[in-house]
Amino acid sequence: MFDLSEIKIRRRRLGLTQKKLAELVGVSQPLIARIESGTIDPKFSLVKKIFEVLEELEGKRITAKDVMNYPVIHATPETPIESVMEVMMKRGISQMSVLDGGKVVGSVTESSIIKAMIGKWKVGELRVKDCMEKPFPMVEPNESIETISKLLLESQAVLVVDKGKLVGIITKQDVMKVLK
């Protein structure tokens, strides 16, 4: 996930002392020294914070809010699948979030629709609730593109949620656009 040996290299490239990096991260200089020397196995949250500070100083910190699409096109559990298919084809999308009362309750994808159609259902009778899958992973607007990219290895999309409200969606294509 994170390569701890990068910390020292990137810190030096930026012309930072261990003390200055420690101040920016909010930890002690000896802790930074121990992390760089490999004599301590730091908590994930601390490593994440160090890399966020380094990325920000390098001017290349891309976050969820920089790449997300909004507003999020969504369905409800009662939405007819025919309507979902029509929206997907018209908009050129392959998945949608499912909201019930403003709360994310699941997702529907081309694959989940096809699986349901192969079964005993007739398309005209199918509702989103009949082929709904678990919700896509959720992140906050300031989450790093690195974390989002890793989530997208296992999921078709990542949702961006701010104070409990769905504010955006990110797909693999969105990430590829900013990384090219």
Q: Is 127 helix (H, G, I), strand (E, B) or coil?
A: strand
- CATH number of the 5-58 domain: 1.10.260.40
Q: What is the pLDDT of residue 179?
A: 66
Local confidence band at 118 (pLDDT 50, 70, 90 cut-offs): confident
Task: Kindly report whether the peptide bond that precedes residue 42 is cis, defined as omega within 30 degrees of 0.
Answer: no
Q: In 41-172, where do the E strands start and end?
A: 74-75, 95-100, 103-109, 138-139, 157-162, 165-171
User: Residue range 11-17: average pLDDT?
Assistant: 85
Q: What is the pLDDT of residue 161?
A: 96
Q: What is the pLDDT of residue 57?
A: 80
Dump pLDDT digits (tens) for 124-144.
788 999 999 999 999 999 888
Dump pLDDT digits (tens) for 143-178.
888 889 999 999 999 999 999 899 999 999 998 887
- CATH number of the 65-179 domain: 3.10.580.10
- CA angle 129-162-132, nearest 5°? 10
- What is the side-by-side strand order in the sheet with 138-139? 138-139, 157-162, 165-171
Local confidence band at 120 (pLDDT 50, 70, 90 cut-offs): low
Mean pLDDT of the chain: 90
- End-to-end distance of the chain based on CA atoms, in angstroms? 21
Same fold, 5-58 and 65-179: no
Domain ranges of the chain: 5-58, 65-179
